[in-house]
Amino acid sequence: MNLIERVVAISRRRSPWICRLNAGSCNGCDIEITPLLSPRYDAEQLGVELHGTPKHADIVLISGTLTLRSREAILDIYAQVPNPKAVVALGSCPASGNVFAGSPLVLSESLDSVVPVDVWVPGCPPRPQAILDGIARAAKLLEDGATKSQLQNWLGRLS
Amino acid sequence: MNAVWSYLIAFAVWPGLLFAAPLGWLELWFMRKLVARLQGRRGPPFFQPFFDFMKLLGKETVIPRGVNRGIFLALPLVSVGAVTAALAIVPLPGNPVPSLPGDVVLLLYLMEVPVLCEVLAGYVSRSIYGQVAAMREALLSLAYNLPFLVAIIAMAQEAGSFQMSALQAAPYGVVHLLAGATFLLALPARMKLNPFSIANAEHEIVADSHIEYSGPPLALFKLSHAVELVLLTELFAVVFIPATPWPLLNLLVYLAAGVAVLGGVTLLATATARLRLAQAFRFYWVWGGIASAVTMAATLVR
């Protein structure tokens, strides 16, 4: 790894830009993201910026139980995020469907079967510091080149 | 040959890219940190704008389907090139470029090119949000250019020449104060800061006109904005702050004046909410118009 690649790798950890995706959430997880950017937790000291467009994002925060209608949207938005990218699943819903599991309107599967998830943040809703920790862990994975999408690209180049 | 080399050095080294990029990042960091401190937050670390730039350089570029690839990739390059060329003309101490007759006109033209690139970037991207941002940017430039251009033209009238060195050396008078105030009136809109951050309203139209940009082209647009901050603050300092005979002292005074202007503008941006396009337009045509008329009258009276 030469010097410039090293600087770029460090920059990936120091400047994780996030983008939110509500895949059918009750808004409980989304409302816990707001205090992250406010004075109490101030995610900007880690370089976190909230961006509205997936084209500027490095990390996608996906919250909510996955509804039948949100599957296409998740795939579409995930495809728009430029590589290298990471996915953080917020709350219990993306993992299991939580209390909505079994409903006819809900995809009864984990988010991992739709897009590769790098960090799971458990809780209903998760605490803001847990979300911040999830973002920091995803940023570290981006630096190491160890997110699932980066590993897949690497394997694709080998074969 | 000698002149060509001096232009190349001015473009690439001082006051061009090699010094303007770190200075622009420093100013961006200062603004973000000041906003954070005023909001009671800790704010980003010192190297944050540099890390943002390097990370974007290492990312993939996604080009939307049906977009002209050449224009899409050329716009950020043209934007950075034009804004750096404009900075190379500004007679900062130690700038090797000879002062030409009429270089103020060239400077004013080159300063419009980044705005034009942003407007075109919005329309080229085929995104609805980008097109709305481009329309707002184009309309707003009609408004803020009135006080901005009048401030510079009044100084040229005062100095009796369209030459940057003549503007810099003009004897200090009341016109400097009036034109300086008119220039400051146009500054927040030129920097796309808060009461006039209508084109990059991140809550209404997601992002500014580079919503579809990613990776190195987006990094170049960010760099262009950073260099533009340096250009605007240093242009203010060179034209409206009286020069001393000592170049090194001049440089320190100019840098300090630039930081002071940025601090004031950031304070305004933190204290205000975003205006609507019509309100900003009315503000610039009424108050900017009155300030312009007073400034022009002051140059003609003497």
Whole-model pTM: value is 0.91
pLDDT bin (cut points 50, 70, 90) of residue B195 is confident
Please list every residue in chain B whose beta carbon sits closer than 8 Å to the beta carbon of residue A15. 48, 51-52, 55
Task: Classify residue B287 by its DSSP letter.
Answer: I
Of B36, B61, B207, the CB nearest to A53: B207
Pick from B3-17, B132-146, B174-188: least confident: B3-17
Give the residue-averaged pLDDT of B209-219. 88
- Partners of A50 in the beta sheet? A18
pLDDT score for B1: 56
Residue A76 parent element (H or E): helix A70-80
User: For A16-65, how does the pLDDT look when each residue is reduced to its tens digit (9 = 90+)?
Assistant: 999 999 988 888 888 998 888 888 888 888 889 888 889 999 999 999 88
What is the 3-class SS of B193-228, one letter each residue?
CHHHCCCCCCCCCCCCCCCCCCCHHHHHHHHHHHHH
Question: Closest approach of chain B CAs to the CA of A76, in angstroms?
Answer: 13
Give the residue-averaged pLDDT of B130-143. 90
User: For B50-94, how does the pLDDT look when each residue is reduced to its tens digit (9 = 90+)?
Assistant: 999 999 998 888 888 888 888 989 999 999 999 999 998 888 887
Task: Classify residue B15 by its DSSP letter.
Answer: S
Q: Residue B171: pLDDT above 90?
A: no
- What's the length of chain A? 159
Contact between chains at A14 and B47 (C-beta distance less than 8 A)? yes
Mark out the alpha helices in chain B (DSSP H runs): 2-12, 17-38, 48-57, 69-89, 103-124, 128-159, 164-169, 174-190, 216-240, 247-271, 277-283, 289-301
Burial of A130 (0-12, 13-18, 19+ CB in 10 A): middle
Give the whole-number percent of chain B exceeding pLDDT 70: 99
Interface test with B, best of A41, A49, A56 (most B CBs within 10 A): A56
d(CA B272, CA B267): 9
